[in-house]
Chains A and B, each alone.
Chain A
Amino acid sequence: MTSRVQKEAVMAKSIDVSDVNIYYGDFLAVEGVNMTIRAGAVTAFIGPSGCGKSTFLRSLNRMHEVIPGARVEGKIVVDGQDLYEQDVDPVAVRRQVGMVFQRPNPFPTMSIYDNVLAGLKLNAGKMKRSAADEVVEKSLRGANLWTEVKDRLNKPGMGLSGGQQQRLCIARAIAVEPQILLMDEPCSALDPISTSAIEDLIHELKDEFTIVIVTHNMQQAARVSDDTGFFNLKATGEPGHLVEFNPTKKMFANPDDPSTEAYISGRFG
């Protein structure tokens, strides 16, 4: 009974961010971020390199603190729970907030099949062969990789091309069915066809997951996202901050802040 109730409760979650400061040691990297990331929508972060959008993304599933000395102040609330409260287990957070990285990073000792199942096998232990096959096919189809690898599932994941490896990583991330999926420039290593496949995939996935994506590609942000946040540095050496957070349509048509408009239209400075 309980499990059914839990199963029904598992769905996309919104994220409420208030007054978040992110540090590397004594260095304040991102300052004073406030936003609400809607459930079941795609939120894109854009901004120049080094403005802290990736850092902020990594703080959403407590990956930021993996780096020694890194810490986060403020509140990031998912489903009524502050992720940075004292007794929150970062491992449990990461099970519900999945992540796809900029550089593809399949596990080199595992086959394609095992890579997709890595999250489930590492955390849930053994599963039935038929169930495993199903998860692998579903996840690989989801990542638009199934037709390319279905005949060589037992070959090493490292043998795939860069674009295929990244889609394998996406398959691996969605295989554990997180509520929120973070993507850190997931398409920067992919060709246009794979990129468009991933963008289609993002559209499909947003019914099930809340998706947050960091991208350098403004067209991509415009194509895939419902909301957009623009990060910028106040000046060189100053911490990054959130300049504007608005629905993507408004952001690209009629932004509130002049610097947003300058950045989006390419007249940055």
Chain B
Amino acid sequence: MTTLEEVQTRVHVPLVQPRLPQQAPLVVGGIAAAFGALLLVLGLGIVGAVILGAVAYLVALPVWSLVIEGRRGATDRLMTGLIWTSFAIAVVPLVSLIWRVIAKGAGRIDGTFLSYSFFKTQIDQPVGVYHAIIGTLLVTLGAAVISVPVGVMAAIYLIEYGKGNKLAKAITFLVDVMTGIPSIVAGLFAFALFTLIFGPAYVSGVGGSVALSLLMIPIVVRATEEMLMLVPDDLREASYALGTPKWKTIVRIVLPTALGGILTGITLATSRVIGETAPLLLIAGATDRTNMNVFDGAMTTLPVLIYGQNLRGDAPAEAIAWGAAFILIVIVMVLNLAARIVGKIFAPRTK
């Protein structure tokens, strides 16, 4: 008897529910856009018009949906709208920045700009940013050479050897703190270090590399840690069971398995520090000449050059700054692309 009653009292859930037409978001979006355009015509600023248009969309569609589809549908519409809005807020500045840099900087790029330095031997000689490109590449390469071994080995210690012990916990904490070091403090550290060793007024590219590596090491440690944690313990055990010592298991099994991800992490860390200005102003200085020796003399990098040109403020200097910014962005993009390709190449394959 009870079963019959239960069946009768069970709520009937219809499988078909009223839905908004499929083009509903498009229609509401169009109306909201028209509303925004109207506000623009009425004299509101572009920013205000876009914001009010977005708000109109975020209110209208959920309300319509609430009437037709009910609560769950309305919540879904609202959250979808909010997430798209957040996405737009995140992407708009990026796109606008890249657009500005391309529009203003790409025109300045030519053979001379890429192959001449600021150092003039004749009064009418054209100038370029060759010295800063070389400076950026050498200083950043130096930073990578210092940070990659230190960072990767620290991560290996943390994951493979120190798992959960006090020292590892302390190191993890310090790495987290290091992630938050302001870059100018890293520059001061390098400045103080090299002043202590070589005396006052010492500037060099390698000093800049040391400062940058301070910023880069925590990122490399974190990225490598994540990748090493993804390597299944099954593989380590399989290797141990073949009578392989732990260090060889790490070098021959664990690291190759995680290599793609580690390389990606290293490249991302490199592109993170390649744009640093403040620490390099302190320790690497600035020069008009092309300096190939990282151990001696000032070295200009692209960010420092952009900063300097911007300070001067006249039209040719500003054009040079935009051109240099364009080159910097291209270098970072190439690095990221390279990271993706390298990551793909070294990812474990199944075919």
What residues on B are CB-neighbors of A159 within 8 Å?
349-351
Q: Is the interface of B mostly helix, strand, loop or mixed?
A: helix
Does the CB pair A155–B351 fall under 8 Å?
A: yes
Closest A residue, CB atoms, query B163: A68
What residues on A are CB-neighbors of B336 within 8 Å?
none
A263 at the interface (CB under 8 A from B): no
B239 to chain A, nearest CB (A): 7
Given contacts A68-B163, A68-B164, A105-B232, contact A99 B349 (CB under 8 A): no
A131 at the interface (CB under 8 A from B): no
Does the CB pair A156–B349 fall under 8 Å?
A: yes
What residues on A are CB-neighbors of B237 within 8 Å?
63, 66, 101, 105
Does the CB pair A119–B243 fall under 8 Å?
A: yes
What residues on B are CB-neighbors of A103 within 8 Å?
234
A15 at the interface (CB under 8 A from B): no
A93 to B257, CA, bound (A): 26
A99 to B243, CA, bound (A): 10
What residues on B are CB-neighbors of A105 within 8 Å?
232, 234-235, 237-238
What residues on B are CB-neighbors of A109 within 8 Å?
253, 256-257, 259, 348
Closest A residue, CB atoms, query B259: A109
B245 at the interface (CB under 8 A from A): yes
A156 to B346, CA, bound (A): 13
A118 at the interface (CB under 8 A from B): yes
With an 8 Å Cβ cutoff, the count of chain B residues facing the other chain is 26
Does the CB pair A156–B348 fall under 8 Å?
A: yes
A172 at the interface (CB under 8 A from B): yes
A103 to chain B, nearest CB (A): 6
Does the CB pair B243–A101 fall under 8 Å?
A: no
Does the CB pair B241–A99 fall under 8 Å?
A: yes
A98 at the interface (CB under 8 A from B): yes
Given contacts A155-B351, A159-B351, contact A95 B243 (CB under 8 A): yes
Does the CB pair B349–A158 fall under 8 Å?
A: yes
B252 at the interface (CB under 8 A from A): yes
Closest B residue, CB atoms, query A69: B164
What residues on B are CB-neighbors of A92 within 8 Å?
243
What residues on A are CB-neighbors of B349 within 8 Å?
108, 156, 158-159
A66, A159, A169 pick with most chain B CB within 10 angstroms: A66
Given contacts A109-B348, A122-B252, A158-B349, contact A94 B235 (CB under 8 A): no
Does the CB pair A91–B244 fall under 8 Å?
A: yes
Interface string of A77-106 (1 = CB under 8 A from B): 000000000000001111110110101011
Does the CB pair B350–A123 fall under 8 Å?
A: no
Closest B residue, CB atoms, query A92: B243
Does the CB pair B242–A122 fall under 8 Å?
A: yes
Given contacts A68-B163, A156-B351, A159-B351, contact A119 B244 (CB under 8 A): yes
Does the CB pair A158–B244 fall under 8 Å?
A: no
Closest A residue, CB atoms, query B164: A68
25 pairs, A vs B, C-beta closer than 8 Å: A63-B240, A66-B240, A68-B164, A91-B245, A98-B241, A101-B234, A105-B232, A105-B238, A107-B257, A108-B235, A108-B348, A108-B349, A109-B253, A109-B256, A109-B259, A119-B243, A123-B242, A123-B248, A155-B351, A156-B351, A158-B349, A159-B351, A169-B238, A173-B242, A176-B242
Nearest 3 Cβ contacts at the A-B interface? A95-B243, A108-B348, A119-B242
Residues of A with Cβ closer than 8 Å to B? 61, 63, 66, 68, 91-96, 98-99, 101, 103, 105-109, 118-119, 122-123, 155-156, 158-159, 169, 172-173, 176
Residues of B with Cβ closer than 8 Å to A? 163-164, 232, 234-245, 248-249, 252-253, 256-257, 259, 348-351
20 further interface pairs, Cβ-Cβ under 8 Å (given A101-B237, A159-B349)? A63-B241, A66-B237, A91-B244, A92-B243, A94-B241, A94-B244, A98-B241, A101-B238, A101-B241, A105-B238, A106-B238, A107-B235, A108-B349, A109-B348, A118-B242, A122-B242, A123-B244, A156-B351, A158-B348, A176-B242
